[in-house]
Amino acid sequence: MRRSTPWIFPLIALAVAVAPASAKPRDEAGLDARISADEMVGWMKRLAAEPSHVSSPASRGNAEWVRDQFQSWGWDARIETFQVLYPTPLSVSLERLTPTPFRATLTEAPVPGDGSSSKTKDQLPAYVAFQGDGDVTAPLVYVNFGMPEDYRALERMGVSVKGKIVIARYGVGWRGLKPKLAQDHGAIGCIIYSDPQQDGYGTDDVYPKGGGRPAQSFQRGSVADMPIYPGDPLTPGVGATENAKRLTRETAETVLKIPVLPISYGDARHFLEALEGSVVPAAFVGGLPITYHLGGTDAVKVHLAVKSEWSLKTIYDVVAVLKGSEQPDQWVLRGNHRDGWVFGAADPISGHVSLMAEAKAIGAQARAGQRPKRTLVYLSWDAEEPMLLGSTEWAETHADELKAKAVIYLNSDGNERGQFGAEGSHAFEHYVNQVIADVQDPETGVPVAQRLRASMQVRGAEPGAGERAAAQAKLAADPAHDLPIGALGSGSDYSAFIAHLGIPSINFSFGGEGNSGGVYHSAYDTWEHHLAFDDPGLAYSAALAKVGARLVTRIADADLPVQVYGNLAETVAGYRDEIKKLTASRRDAQQVQSRLLASGAYRLADDPTRPRADPTALSPVPDISFAPLDSAVTHLQKSAAAYDQALAARGPGLSKATRSQLFELQRRLEMTLARDPGLPGRPWYRNMLYAPGRFTGYGAKTLPGIREAIEEERWVDANRYMKLTAQTLEAYASGLDEAVRLIQGA
Containing H/E element for 47?
helix 37-47
Q: Which of 222, 455, 541, 583 binds a second copy (CB under 8 A)?
A: 455
User: SS3 letters for 67-104?
Assistant: HHHHHHCCCEEEEEEEEEECCEEEEEEEEECCCCCEEC
Containing H/E element for 394?
helix 389-397
Q: Which residues, 140 to 199, sit near a second copy by CB under 8 A? A: 149, 196
Rg (CA), the chain: 26
Return the range that interacts with a second copy (CB under 8 A); candidates 362-370, 445-453, 483-491, 691-699.
Answer: 445-453
Return the range that interacts with a second copy (CB under 8 A); candidates 19-27, 74-82, 326-334, 451-459.
Answer: 451-459
Q: What are phi and psi of 507, to 5 degrees?
A: -110, 135
Q: Which of 183, 203, 505, 507 binds a second copy (CB under 8 A)?
A: 203
Q: What are phi and psi of 502, to 5 degrees?
A: 80, 10
Please report, as a single letter, which amino acid is at residue 612. Answer: R
Q: Is 206 in the site for a second copy (CB under 8 A)?
A: yes
Please report, as a single letter, which amino acid is at residue 451. Answer: R
Q: Which of 23, 29, 604, 657 binds a second copy (CB under 8 A)?
A: 604
Minimal CA–CA distance to 167: which of 238, 262, 256? Answer: 262
Question: In the complex with a second copy, which residue's Cβ is closer, 34 or 293?
Answer: 293
Q: Is 467 in the site for a second copy (CB under 8 A)?
A: no
Q: Is 285 in the site for a second copy (CB under 8 A)?
A: yes
CA distances from 138 to 20, 131, 158, 187, 300 (A): 65, 18, 18, 9, 8
Question: In the complex with a second copy, which residue's Cβ is closer, 329 or 513?
Answer: 513
How many CB atoms within 10 Å of residue 19? Answer: 17
CA distances from 17 to 558, 560, 643, 644, 648 (A): 11, 8, 11, 9, 5
Q: Which of 288, 342, 388, 689 binds a second copy (CB under 8 A)?
A: 288
Return the range that interacts with a second copy (CB under 8 A); candidates 55-63, 153-161, 494-502, 602-610.
Answer: 602-610
Question: In the complex with a second copy, which residue's Cβ is closer, 119 or 459?
Answer: 459
Q: Is 598 in the site for a second copy (CB under 8 A)?
A: no
Q: Which residues, 707 to 736, sit near a second copy by CB under 8 A? A: none
CA distance 14 to 562: 10
Interaction pattern, residues 49-88, with a second copy; x per rule: CB under 8 A: ----------------------------------------
Q: Which of 146, 233, 335, 418 binds a second copy (CB under 8 A)?
A: 418
Question: In the complex with a second copy, which residue's Cβ is closer, 213 or 500?
Answer: 213
DSSP code, position 618: P
Q: Which of 311, 599, 619, 631 binds a second copy (CB under 8 A)?
A: 599
Q: Which of 78, 103, 367, 595 binds a second copy (CB under 8 A)?
A: 595
Q: Which residues, 229 to 268, sit near a second copy by CB under 8 A? A: none
302-321 core/surface letters (b: 16 or more CB in 10 A; e: else): bbbbbebeeeebbbbbbbbb
Question: In the complex with a second copy, which residue's Cβ is closer, 448 or 488?
Answer: 448
Minimal CA–CA distance to 576: which of 584, 460, 484, 423? Answer: 584
Smallest gap, in angstroms, from Cβ of residue 423 to a second copy? 20
Give the binding-site size for a second copy (rule: CB under 8 A): 50
The dihedral formed by the CA atoms of 731, 732, 733 and 738, expressed in degrees to the nearest 10:
90
Q: Which of 205, 712, 737, 738 binds a second copy (CB under 8 A)?
A: 205
Q: Is 450 in the site for a second copy (CB under 8 A)?
A: yes
Smallest gap, in angstroms, from Cβ of residue 290 to a second copy? 6
Smallest gap, in angstroms, from Cβ of residue 76 to a second copy? 40
9, 640 contact by CB (below 8 A) = no
Q: Is 107 in the site for a second copy (CB under 8 A)?
A: no
Return the range that interacts with a second copy (CB under 8 A); candidates 285-293, 344-352, 406-414, 542-550.
Answer: 285-293
* Sign of the CA dihedral running 731, 551, 495, 424: positive
Q: Is 519 in the site for a second copy (CB under 8 A)?
A: no
Smallest gap, in angstroms, from Cβ of residue 507 to a second copy? 23
Q: Which of 16, 90, 584, 589 binds a second copy (CB under 8 A)?
A: 589
Q: Which of 325, 457, 658, 661 binds a second copy (CB under 8 A)?
A: 457
Q: Is 401 in the site for a second copy (CB under 8 A)?
A: no
255, 130 contact by CB (below 8 A) = yes
Q: Which of 61, 287, 328, 628 binds a second copy (CB under 8 A)?
A: 287
Q: Is 446 in the site for a second copy (CB under 8 A)?
A: yes
- Please, which residues have CB within 8 angstroms of residue 464's CB and are 6 or more apart in sequence? none
Interaction pattern, residues 354-393, with a second copy; x per rule: CB under 8 A: ----------------------------------------
435-469 core/surface letters (b: 16 or more CB in 10 A; e: else): bbebbebbeeeebbbebbbebbbebbeeeeeeeeb
Question: In the complex with a second copy, which residue's Cβ is closer, 27 or 149?
Answer: 149
DSSP code, position 228: T
Return the range that interacts with a second copy (CB under 8 A); candidates 40-48, 111-119, 220-228, 597-605.
Answer: 597-605
Q: Which of 4, 72, 311, 444 binds a second copy (CB under 8 A)?
A: 444
581-613 core/surface letters (b: 16 or more CB in 10 A; e: else): eebeebbeebeebeeebeeeebeeeeeeeeebe
Q: Which of 87, 125, 146, 212 binds a second copy (CB under 8 A)?
A: 212
Q: What's CA 279's distance to the chain center, in Å?
A: 35
Q: Which of 135, 298, 478, 513 binds a second copy (CB under 8 A)?
A: 513
Q: Is 657 in the site for a second copy (CB under 8 A)?
A: no
- Please, which residues have CB within 8 angstroms of residue 172's CB and are 6 or more apart in sequence? 145, 147
- Is residue 391 classed as helix, strand or coil in its secondary structure? helix
Q: Is 325 in the site for a second copy (CB under 8 A)?
A: no
Q: Which residues are at the interface with a second copy (CB under 8 A)?
A: 149, 196, 201-206, 210, 212, 279, 282, 285, 287-291, 417-418, 443-444, 446, 450-451, 453-455, 457-459, 461, 463, 477, 513, 589, 592-593, 595-596, 599-605, 607-609
